[in-house]
Amino acid sequence: MSQIIPADLLASLHAGLASGDIVPYLGAGALSHVTHKVSGKPIPADSNSLILAMNNGQPMAPRLMYEFPRAAMNVELKRGRAAVNKFLIATYGSDEWTDSAFHGWLTGFNPDYVIDINRDTQLQRLWSKTPHILVVGIARMAGTAFRYRLYQHDGEKYAEVSNEGVDSSLPVLFKPMGTPWPQPDFIASDADYVDYITELMGGFSIPPFLKARRVGKRYLFLGLRLNRDTERMVMSDIIYDCATGPAAWAMIEEPTAKERRFCARLGIEIIEAPISALYGEALAAA
């Protein structure tokens, strides 16, 4: 059963987001209220809705419905990697989705580091006048030892930069699973994840300046379910070098026993409340 966030914890989370001590880590649930401007349909974000959208609204075989990367791998094997990329570009590459009140509220804290494992462009549009660094995950790319692209936004447009040329003082938006802007790159199929996670564990999926910035950070997982090994492995390596003690908080309304065990092992405190409990009153008062 969901709970109301104690006032002192709520104040502490807000203060941590404002100071940059707490890094927001966004999962599919962060997009739960985003809909298509014409049809009113929810944006495909979680594994199940992505699979259905990719397969023209029809369920796939039960073994493929288990997780989006598995279903995407099946499509890639039958129709090529380009088919999966085409679907993701068509889904996320336009502005036909409504604006997210949650993302707008989060942007009000002027965060200096946000991790967003969704493939949408909500935060990129909100930051379109703000100079920042965009880190985009890539996989199975020849000619580079790294599994990311670096872009620097000057307040008007993106330009790809090197590790040596990046202004590491700027705010960072980390999109490990990709984005259609400014160039479409996605981590989607099982093969993508195997390559990306392998290099993530080896230290080649995160830029050096970001490795330094993340030391001692705490995290607030928003809209992220922790019952799938793929997302748990990505998350565990991305938050490496986090603070000791309460390293993170995860807002999960109805956590499973598996999620409780995993969070207990990593020192993550579960808050059994929807993410709207973080910002509902703030928006009502605005």
Residue 44 tokens, joined: 């495909």
Residue 1 falls within a domain, yes or no?
no
d(CA 206, CA 137): 9
Residue 2 falls within a domain, yes or no?
no
Closest CA to 109 of 133, 95, 130, 92: 130
Residue 24 falls within a domain, yes or no?
yes
For position 283, what pLDDT does the model report?
53
One digit per residue, the tens of pLDDT, for the chain of length 286 reads 446 899 999 999 999 999 999 999 999 999 999 999 999 999 999 999 999 999 999 999 999 999 999 999 999 999 999 999 999 999 999 889 999 999 999 999 999 999 999 999 999 999 999 999 999 999 999 999 999 999 999 999 999 999 999 999 999 999 999 999 999 999 999 999 999 999 999 999 999 999 999 999 999 999 999 999 999 999 999 999 999 877 899 999 999 999 999 999 999 999 999 999 998 765 544 4
Q: Which domain holds residue 77?
A: 7-285
d(CA 27, CA 231): 9
Q: Are 70 and 54 in contact (CB under 8 A)?
A: no
Residue 186 falls within a domain, yes or no?
yes
Residue 175 falls within a domain, yes or no?
yes
Q: Are 176 and 236 in contact (CB under 8 A)?
A: no
Residue 269 falls within a domain, yes or no?
yes
Do strands 218-222 and 22-26 pair parallel, antiparallel, or not at all (unpaired)? parallel
Residue 231 vs residues 67, 73, 284: alpha-carbon distances, Å: 10, 16, 33
Residue 81 falls within a domain, yes or no?
yes
For position 2, what pLDDT does the model report?
47
Domain total in the chain: 1
For position 109, what pLDDT does the model report?
97
Residue 191 falls within a domain, yes or no?
yes
